[in-house]
Amino acid sequence: MPGRKKVYVTRELPEKAMETLESRFEVEVWRDEMPPPKSILMEKVKQADGLICLLTEKIDREVIEAAGPQLLGISQVAVGFDNIDLEAATEKGIYVTNTPGVLTETTADYAFALLMAVARRIAEADRYVKAGRWRVPWGLMMLLGQDVWGKTIGIIGMGRIGSAVARRAKGMNMRILYYDLVRREKLEKELDAEYVDLETLLRESDFVTIHVPLSPSTRHLINEERLRLMKRTACLINTSRGPVVDEKALYKALKEGWIWAAGLDVWEEEPTSPDNPLLKLDNVTASPHIASGSIETRTKMALMAVENMTAILEGRVPPNLVNREVLKVRPPSS
């Protein structure tokens, strides 16, 4: 159909989202499982009015500068958007959106599941049984874990996902400590959570779970010095972004027993190399960045990205605009 706006999508979206998108726009999709190479992205943004992308696409200044003046928006199918150069997009009047809210409970479920799995060595137990190593009928000392009920959880980043994890922790009768740049007094009352500095959180928590976005100030927030503050019996859970944790330091901490175990859904590089030494450790439970990965939630995220893109291309302020300063550079047209 002539005159329809063009949207480039960097991966196949769930069916409902594809149908909605195709009913509104001229759509081109990158059909490979792997992300499109940068050269393709740079070529596609020359023509497209909108780009729908995943967190695997590095939308840096070079890609944004390659875009033609018709590119109005970048709609990311994820809540985190550290892969997009917001400053470059804003300068060019390009709206950038994300998908907050719809994945909060799903991600918190996963963070808590990972916490429980690490505490009770579930992945290790699975490997043990399947490898035929279960010989003693019932071992009093077999695969002993850590209790969760009534323990102390330290939540780094008490935003939407952090507070959803706190609600789950409250149900497990846990003492809740949190650290954030801002105090959340209402939540403190609701959840009996205590605001503490990062050092106190690390020293006193049995479980430390990370829920901050990746930024220059959170890169390697968990480093050697901070890992050394944690209890020898503590578990570290990361479902945020890999580079928030210094993996080399974490390896040392786990290998030398400064902390007890870790559950990692995110990695400094994704996919992490099969040679990553962390993968050789029994006290690491690993997963491939799937915390928001439920069937319902991934569909909701894609639909939300489509609605954001639709608003942008119709000249409205999209519901989940992350670079609000762009409104001064290019005000909405309706």
The phi-psi region of residue 183 (left if phi > 0; otherwise alpha if psi is between -120 and 50; otherwise beta) is beta
80 is a site residue for ligand GLV (CB under 6 A): yes
The letter for the amino acid at 126 is: D
Contact window for ligand GLV (CB under 6 A) among 46-54, 60-68, 76-84, 158-166: 76-84
100 is a site residue for ligand GLV (CB under 6 A): no
HSE (CB half, 13 Å, CA atoms) of 87? 2
Supply the minimum distance, in Å, between the C-beta of residue 266 and ligand GLV: 7
Q: Where are the alpha helices (DSSP H) in 25-134?
A: 38-44, 61-66, 86-91, 104-119, 122-130
For ligand GLV, the binding residue among 103, 108, 153, 311 (CB under 6 A) is 103
Supply the minimum distance, in Å, between the C-beta of residue 301 and ligand GLV: 7
Q: What whole-number distance in Å separates Cα of residue 239 and Cα of residue 183?
A: 22
In the bound state with ligand GLV, the residue whose beta carbon lies nearer, of 17 and 229, is: 17
For ligand GLV, the binding residue among 292, 297, 310, 323 (CB under 6 A) is 292
How far is CA 47 from its chain centroid? 30
Supply the minimum distance, in Å, between the C-beta of residue 292 and ligand GLV: 5
Q: What whole-number distance in Å separates Cα of residue 61 and Cα of residue 74?
A: 13
Q: Helix or strand or coil: residue 26? A: strand
Supply the minimum distance, in Å, between the C-beta of residue 124 and ligand GLV: 25
CA 214-114-298 angle, to 5 degrees, is 65
In the bound state with ligand GLV, the residue whose beta carbon lies nearer, of 164 and 174, is: 164
- Give the residue numbers marked as catalytic: 241, 270, 289
53 is a site residue for ligand GLV (CB under 6 A): no
Q: Which residues contact 169 (CB under 8 A, 6 or more apart)?
A: 112, 153, 155, 176, 191
For ligand GLV, the binding residue among 55, 64, 74, 201 (CB under 6 A) is 55
The letter for the amino acid at 294 is: S
302 is a site residue for ligand GLV (CB under 6 A): no
303 is a site residue for ligand GLV (CB under 6 A): no
Supply the minimum distance, in Å, between the C-beta of residue 78 and ligand GLV: 3
In the bound state with ligand GLV, the residue whose beta carbon lies nearer, of 124 and 180, is: 180
Q: How many other CB atoms are there within 10 angstroms of residue 255's CB atom?
A: 13
Residues at the site binding ligand GLV, with contacts judged by CB under 6 A: 55, 78-80, 103, 292
